[in-house]
Amino acid sequence: MSNGNISLKYTPGGTNDPVNPFHYMPSMAAAVVSLVFYILLFVVLTSWTIWKRSWYMITLLIGCIMEIIGYGIRIQLASNPIGQIPLYSSMHASIILAPIFNAAIDYVLIGRLMHAVGDQYSLVKPNLVAWIFIVCDIISMLVQSAGAGVLTSAGANLQNLETGENILLGGLGVNLASFTLFCLQLFYFDYLTRKSPPVFLNGSIYQRRWRLFLYVIYISSFFVLVRQIYRVIEFSQGFTGYLAVHEIYFYIFDTIPIFVSSAVYTIFFPGNGYLPRDRNGTFAIMENNEQNLKKSNNNNNNVSASRKDLALDGIS
């Protein structure tokens, strides 16, 4: 096949086939399994979100929906990817943009956790932590969306596809830089709380629970970071780079990390007492409310006991 003055040799449907956007034949089984797992993840997270009225988790649900769309399209492409560049671009855009929402929920959760433990443990006001990094992510998403737009409108134009990938690479670079700074903020918060531990009531369940949830955010953030590093390296190598043409790396460094990053919140759902329900709430307020409730119950029990004694005296 000729392209201008350049002759290209390729195997139809293979790595060098210019009309196969994958540059390999994608696995149908892997795409189906991924779709099923993301649908199950979405169902569980949606159930928790509604039951516990933790509406801030809708952020993560949006990411799950985008993953479901992406893998749904991938299944269709697995049967015949040849010449399906517009459909491939739509799949690519969905899967590339979805993890932005994983990062965003980590920003929201750490901001709430910092405030719940104590504002003094944060470099900036905890309610600003989420917004600072979310703004960075919005900038990144706009750049990536522009790249995705070029990709989806590229048609069979390989030059436009490459331009779209370069724009996406720039957006991913911004995202990686802001998320790295977020991880540094996470480490700093952990350091300060170890240097000067927050004070809890004796025997408080929140004393152990809040740090456990911090570890959960660590795990989620780690897997998001792994995926971002992978994507930056992959895009820098180009369409036919080593990572891009070997499907196994896509599932190891993108599909699995983003799934795990989201799935940890099905086990340690923030609305299950790991965070105050109110965004302005703190663990101190929660402890105080519980103490007042216990006192109220004790008083009610004492009143009931006194009335019972009086009734017995009257009978005797």
Report residue 165 as tokens.
């990938």
**CA–CA dist 85, 91 (Å, integer):** 10
**Topology of the domain comprising 27-281:** Rhopdopsin 7-helix transmembrane proteins (1.20.1070)
The torsion angles phi and psi of 2, rounded to 5 degrees, stand at -115, 145
Which band of pLDDT confidence, cut at 50, 70 and 90, is reported for residue 283?
confident
Tens digits of per-residue pLDDT, 123-134?
Answer: 888 888 888 888
Tens digits of per-residue pLDDT, 234-273?
Answer: 988 877 789 988 999 999 999 999 999 999 999 999 999 8
Beta carbons of 283 and 116 less than 8 angstroms apart: yes
Q: What angle do CA 41, 128, 114 make, to 5 degrees?
A: 65
pLDDT recorded at residue 47? 98
Tens digits of per-residue pLDDT, 62-121?
Answer: 999 999 999 999 999 998 888 888 898 899 889 988 999 999 999 999 999 999 998 888
For the CA atoms of 16, 17, 22, 27, what is the dihedral angle to 10 degrees? -100
Per-domain boundaries in the chain: 27-281, 284-316
Tens digits of per-residue pLDDT, 78-93?
Answer: 988 888 888 988 998 8
**CA–CA dist 238, 244 (Å, integer):** 7
Chain centroid to CA 135: 16
pLDDT recorded at residue 289? 66
Which band of pLDDT confidence, cut at 50, 70 and 90, is reported for residue 151?
low
**CA–CA dist 154, 164 (Å, integer):** 8
% of residues, the chain, pLDDT over 90: 45
**CA–CA dist 235, 22 (Å, integer):** 13
Q: Strand ranges (DSSP E) for 60-136? A: none
**CA–CA dist 254, 261 (Å, integer):** 11
